[in-house]
Chain A
Amino acid sequence: MQHFRVKIYAATQPGFDASAAIPVFHRWIQNNVLDELLIDVADYAHVPAGPGVVLVGHDAFYGLDHAGHRTGLLYTRRTALDGDTGSRIAQAYESALRACRLLENEPEFSGKIRFDPGEWDLSVNDRLLAPNNDESWRKLEPALRQFLDARFGPGTCRAARIGEPRDLLTVSLRSAA
């Protein structure tokens, strides 16, 4: 499986303004903050419960997403990665988390947003190779469980499939740690 999406949820404080991500993401491009090819910033903040402000990269999108009326950092892998499924999940999660930490420390967001690394969703953004069905879940679960145990501690992270059949295969992950 390729093209994982990770959304790490955040709590926001009064004064939080999603559009402040526009200058932040532009700085990331100019200063090559993420060590990957970043291309542009797209503003969808006008869409209710939409993708918000998106940093468009060659390999991935980083968005200050507001889907489901919940703010979070959405990492969407675009290009293929080497390695097995578990290492691809790890790459997506760590990339998303790194972006979260960077955002928290940007002056525009300092004290206004706090990401919870233990509350996140994982989706497989590939309806052809990983349709949202039990078979795909059976293929995904062992690698995901292995990653969760290694990253959060054995048995500390609950995983539950969410959404409806027409959505991407999506798993809600909650770490007790």
Chain B
Amino acid sequence: MRRLAAVGFTTREACGNSVRNVTGCPIAGVCRTETFDVTPYADALTWFLLGHPDCQDFGRKFKIAFSGCRDEACGLVRMHDLGCVAVVRDGRRGFEVYVGGGLGTVPQQARLFDEFVAEDRLLPLAQAICRVFGRLGEKKNRNTARIKFLVSKLGLDEFRRMVTEELAILPHDDRWSAYIPGVGTREESPLRPGSLIEIESMNGSTPEGFKNWYATNVYRQRQPGYATVTVSLPLGDITSPQLRAVADLARKYVRETIRTTVEQNLVLRWVSEADLPDLYRELKAADLAAPGAGTIVDIVACPGTDTCKLGISSSRGLAGELKSRLAQRQFEMDDAVRNLRIKVSGCFNSCGQHHVADLGFYGVSRNKNNYTVPHFQVVLGGQWDKNGGAYGLAIGAVPSKRIPDTVDRIASRYLADRTPGERFQDYIKRIGKAACKSMLDDLMVVPPHDTDPSYYTDWADAREYTIGDIGVGECAGEVVNPIDFKLAACERETFEAQLALESGDAGRAALLAYQAMLHGATALLEQQLPVLGADPDSIVDRFRSDLVETQLFHDPFAGPKFAQYFLKAHERRGQSVSNDRAHQLVEEAQLFIEASHGCYARMRTQPPKPAAAV
């Protein structure tokens, strides 16, 4: 730790309920489209809030991001608790400030808090927001403790009013603006003279593979003669000899500066273009010259079942498999397909950022043929650019082993059916979720275990993905419990809710989402005792007493979170809903049904209650 601190690294407040690592665009300062370099502002805010007394009593973490452009992906500010986009107004530097974004189980887009916050007001505003969050944010229930829940609860206008009040009484702090005179004076500078190269005229004189690498991993900076190089890391992994090699290259070609990216890669900035062939050769010698940065082969995955206790399916296993298959044909692909982004999470928590991918996947499980089968929900329609400007929605669960086919199917249909120049997100929107789902219907089928046992294992794991002591049905055949059909019907209902949302009918979407949860709860209750009548209040009462208070419905890690989605939806049923709220309800219904599958799996493994208790 001392050695890290000696070179300016700290692990302080890297975890826990604190202001986490402040992030920014990896090409800030060299970007061709940015308004200005956000780096010094991100740096100032980092050191200002690190250890700040107003940031020590949060109920949950707080993430901040900076972007220099509104329309690019940049810092993905729309999915952060606090996001700042560079703007200039009347010649003055400032920021468009967003609050309350986040992915997680129920993603929310950050909302515009202020169209223009002058640069000297940014730090006090962040401090005031932290104070309000620290004072009013949820502390007991971690599941509702992020600032997005506070903003939703108070409403943006009330939240803004409280922050403004707080801002007015903040004691002055010189640090708010002390760094500003230094902005622009500590920018990165090149190590070697810039030199333009014309790649097209370098026929025969470049190393093998250079042009493919150049096409995807090199970004021409706005400073003529310089380029930013992305070092693609497979699933973000790098060995210690490779790290030393990167350090050597950073010393040799740039001024010892390396940035990391949210896509699990490294970037070297300020590389003289004339050095690119030599740099490529040296990266290649270190096995670090893989092409395809920012394309379909540059797959992001969270740790998943490898090391995360929340992981349901093997996100890294799937990502590795997809990468291996896609890399073999990446240069035969049409650009429209090659430029798609794939992101994989091992569960609904979205650490792999599946919501903002073209093709997103998150791990779930399904009970099929009396076994538990690893699946991934397919999430389509997410938007990477515009700072993560739109979140995709799940269209259905596909067995893990059919995900590579799913990617091929969607990509080939997109290529065949797209109108000239049509982007993937627009294509998905145009054809609609029903067509997307029907595209995959046959891939959702799980063959019996005897026919193909490979479906019953996960990627990169040879063990059967099932609860080992579960026996087959009494007839020794493949018995399907009626609850499987009922929960499948709930999934269809949730999908219908998505379709209603897509058609702009928020009210119907909310109703269907609520009904899906109600029917899911009913199906679970009927596993214990017949449910007499369809009175929602009675069902909710029994759900609360039999499944919530007994903790049978509790998720092993999220606790009663998903049960609360249903209980809250029941309380609020019949109320008018906004489009955002309907979107949230659909997400919640999806998660409730997933939790119902989990609850049913637990019920199967529990010994039957004594007759007297029944």
Interface residues of A (CB under 8 A from B): 19, 22-23, 26, 30, 41-51, 67, 166-167
Contact = CB atoms under 8 A, between A and B. Distances in A.
Nearest to A51: B239
Contact of A43 (B241, B316, B323, B463): B316
Given A41-B461, A43-B316, A167 B241 contact: yes
Contacts of A166: 244
A119 B84 CA distance: 57
A108 to B, nearest CB: 10
A19 B241 CA distance: 23
Nearest to B233: A47
Interface of B: 234-235, 237-239, 241, 244, 287, 290, 306, 316-317, 320, 323-324, 460-463
Nearest to A29: B463
A42 B238 CA distance: 15
A22 B241 contact: no
Contacts of B460: 19, 22, 43
Contact of B462 (A22, A49, A67, A167): A22
A52 B323 CA distance: 16
A105 B311 CA distance: 33
Contacts of A43: 306, 316-317, 320, 460
14 contacts: A19-B460, A22-B462, A26-B461, A44-B237, A45-B320, A46-B320, A46-B323, A47-B234, A47-B239, A48-B290, A49-B239, A51-B239, A67-B239, A166-B244
A70 B241 CA distance: 15
Contacts, number: 40
Given A22-B461, A23-B462, A26-B462, A46 B239 contact: no
A46 B241 contact: no
9 closest cross-chain pairs (CB), A and B = A23-B462, A48-B287, A43-B460, A46-B320, A46-B234, A47-B237, A26-B462, A49-B287, A22-B462
Given A43-B316, A47-B239, A50-B239, 18 more contacts: A19-B460, A22-B460, A22-B461, A26-B462, A41-B461, A42-B306, A43-B306, A43-B317, A43-B320, A43-B460, A45-B320, A46-B237, A47-B237, A48-B234, A48-B290, A51-B239, A67-B239, A166-B244
Contacts of B316: 43
Given A45-B320, A46-B323, A47-B234, A26 B239 contact: no
A166 B461 CA distance: 35
A19 B320 CA distance: 12
Nearest to A41: B461
A40 B244 CA distance: 28
A42 B235 CA distance: 13
Contacts of A22: 460-462
Contacts of A41: 461
A26 B457 CA distance: 13
Contacts of A67: 239, 241
A102 to B, nearest CB: 16
Nearest to B320: A46
A45 B306 CA distance: 14
A49 to B, nearest CB: 5
A19 B238 CA distance: 19
Contact of A46 (B306, B324, B461): B324
A46 B239 CA distance: 12
Contacts of B237: 44, 46-47, 50
Contacts of B324: 46
A70 to B, nearest CB: 13
A26 B458 CA distance: 13
Contacts of A26: 461-463
Nearest to B463: A26
